[in-house]
Chain A
Amino acid sequence: MNRKAYIYYLFILAAIIGFIVTVQLKSNITYQGIITIPKLLDLQNEISNVEMENKQLMESISEQAMRLVEYKTSVEKTGNAYGTMQNELEKARNYADYYTVQGPGIIMTLNDSQQELAEGEDIAWYLVHDIDILEIVNELRVAGAEAISINGERVTATTNIRCGGPTINIDGKRHAAPFIIRAIGDPKALEASALAPDSYIELYMEYTGIQVEIQKVEKLIINGYDNTEKMKYLRKAEGGEAS
């Protein structure tokens, strides 16, 4: 190789380095280097959070404006607010899941796997567990389920689902397979969420052979929550803002 070739190589390298250094310096002037991508994402996240909250606030304000109008007309017409209060009571009891409801939705049946056990395999793999039901109920809520029951037990805010030996306790009541989960909501959305490739059923349950059957229904009935046990620790908060 002759010397000239080396000089060319050196020249090209020097040119590249010079270019990179210039770009680097220039960027350091425009970019302050203090704001990082995670910080920016945090900002964006915060904005969408507040926007979501604002949307909810607006909905709730319009709902309350309507309620106020109802109260006013009720007092004007009948001289008292009993009628509206009665309506409010009905609504609150419905939201507290005390009432039997009906509507379209899906019925899902889960049954233990019938697959033969291979050597060294644990039978536990082939059974329906508390976690499975917990995850499925959560996914149905994501898909907009308005009312859910498991083997006839209405799922409320405080429902607990736990394995108890060969059975699963739902709010302390024993239930055995098959587990029938009923959910009222948009049947298409509910079914799609259960059958999505990344759904809990597809990811964790299908391969163990746990039998899952999903049926879309035009009209199904879900019983109200019938436990009227008094709350021992809870009371209405008086005045002030909750933190």
Chain B
Amino acid sequence: MKNIKYQIAVAVVCLVLGIMVSIQFRTVKQGVGPVSEYRARELAAQLKKVREENVKLQNLKNDYESKIKEFEDTASQGSAYAKILKDELDQARIMAGIEDVEGPGITVVVDDLKFSEKVNYPLISYSMLLELLNELNAAGAEAVSINGQRIISTTEIRQIGGIHININTVSFAPPFIFKAIGDPKTLEAALRLREGIAERLENSGVAVTITQEQLIRIPKYNGVIERKYAKVVKEGESQ
């Protein structure tokens, strides 16, 4: 029977076609489809350029910083008054988050590890980081940074889309590394509380690693603090 032969042939061809189409679709859907190498090279070149610029700017900034430091240090040796002034200045800058600080504390690494390969939604939300930060503060953290971004009073933690979260307007993907200065034991215990933040994060598939440290260093806030609207009310001024 020739008809059956033809039908089988058509069926086989359709099967092959179907498989090809579905493979194609899957590749595109997973977002691992190949893209033009040209575009990638272009981006790599651009990245190199901005990184070079970054190094130059960083050096320039360090120059200025050391010059200012020199001025302040020399001035503070001038008199007892100047010394007190300088101490107060350091103290205020530490509180404002515009001075590098160090002390004992903990490092907390919050990561989605390999879970992200299995689930295609972001495991770590900004709310988790917000709550973790709040817990650290409640446990007496004196200074905190996330991925090197010093937390100051205007720091925002904002989901940007997908797995990216902005901190001080800089975008980060997991892992999120918290550094907090304070009593290491108290800080860890507060996070490890039963049904506390660490347990809740772990239950939703997020890996939390806490390390107590004798000495950690937290950098100062990198940006420029702007006070365009909020003006200082001088004492005795009418309200």
Determine if A89 is an interface residue (Cβ-Cβ < 8 Å).
Answer: yes
Q: Is there an interface contact between B14 and A135, defined as CB atoms closer than 8 Å?
A: no
Q: Bound complex: CA of A92 vs CA of B94, how far in Å? A: 9
Residues of B within 8 A of A42 (CB): 173
Taking the closest CB of chain B, its distance from the CB of A188, in whole angstroms, is 12
Closest to B182 in A: A233
A63-95 residues with Cβ-Cβ distance < 8 A to B are 63-65, 67-68, 71, 75, 80-82, 85-86, 88-90, 92-95
Determine if A215 is an interface residue (Cβ-Cβ < 8 Å).
Answer: no
Q: Bound complex: CA of A10 vs CA of B148, how far in Å? A: 64
Q: Is there an interface contact between A20 and B31, defined as CB atoms closer than 8 Å?
A: no
Determine if B119 is an interface residue (Cβ-Cβ < 8 Å).
Answer: no
Tell me which of A46, A60, A130, A160 contacts B61 (CB under 8 A).
A60
Tell me which of B9, B40, B58 contacts A39 (CB under 8 A).
B40
Residues of A within 8 A of B189 (CB): none
Q: Bound complex: CA of A58 vs CA of B60, how far in Å? A: 9
Q: Is there an interface contact between B223 and A85, defined as CB atoms closer than 8 Å?
A: no
**Digit string of B77-92 for contact with A (CB within 8 Å is 1, else 0)?**
0100110011011101
Q: Is there an interface contact between A161 and B33, defined as CB atoms closer than 8 Å?
A: no
Q: Bound complex: CA of A97 vs CA of B231, how far in Å? A: 11
Q: How many residues of A contact B (CB 8 A)?
A: 104
Q: Is there an interface contact between A32 and B37, defined as CB atoms closer than 8 Å?
A: yes
Residues of B within 8 A of A33 (CB): 34
Given A45-B164, A50-B47, A89-B88, CB of A135 within 8 Å of CB of B130: yes
Residues of B within 8 A of A233 (CB): 103-105, 142, 181-183
Determine if A196 is an interface residue (Cβ-Cβ < 8 Å).
Answer: no
Given contacts A20-B17, A36-B33, A242-B217, 15 further A-B contacts (CB under 8 A): A24-B20, A31-B34, A31-B36, A82-B75, A82-B85, A94-B227, A100-B233, A146-B230, A159-B153, A222-B230, A232-B142, A234-B181, A236-B101, A237-B102, A242-B218
> Which of B's residues lie within 8 Å of A, judged by CB?
2-3, 6, 9-10, 13-14, 16-17, 20, 31-37, 39-40, 43-44, 46-47, 50-51, 53-54, 57-58, 60-61, 64-65, 67-68, 71-72, 74-75, 78, 81-82, 85-86, 88-90, 92-105, 126-127, 130-131, 134-135, 137-138, 141-144, 148, 151-158, 164, 169-171, 173, 181-183, 217-220, 222-233, 239
**14 pairs from A and B in contact (CB 8 Å cutoff):** A10-B6, A13-B10, A13-B17, A17-B16, A31-B37, A47-B46, A50-B50, A81-B71, A85-B75, A138-B158, A141-B156, A232-B183, A233-B103, A235-B102
Task: Give 9 nearest A-B pairs by CB, closest first.
Answer: A95-B96, A92-B92, A96-B95, A242-B219, A160-B138, A160-B137, A237-B100, A31-B34, A96-B96
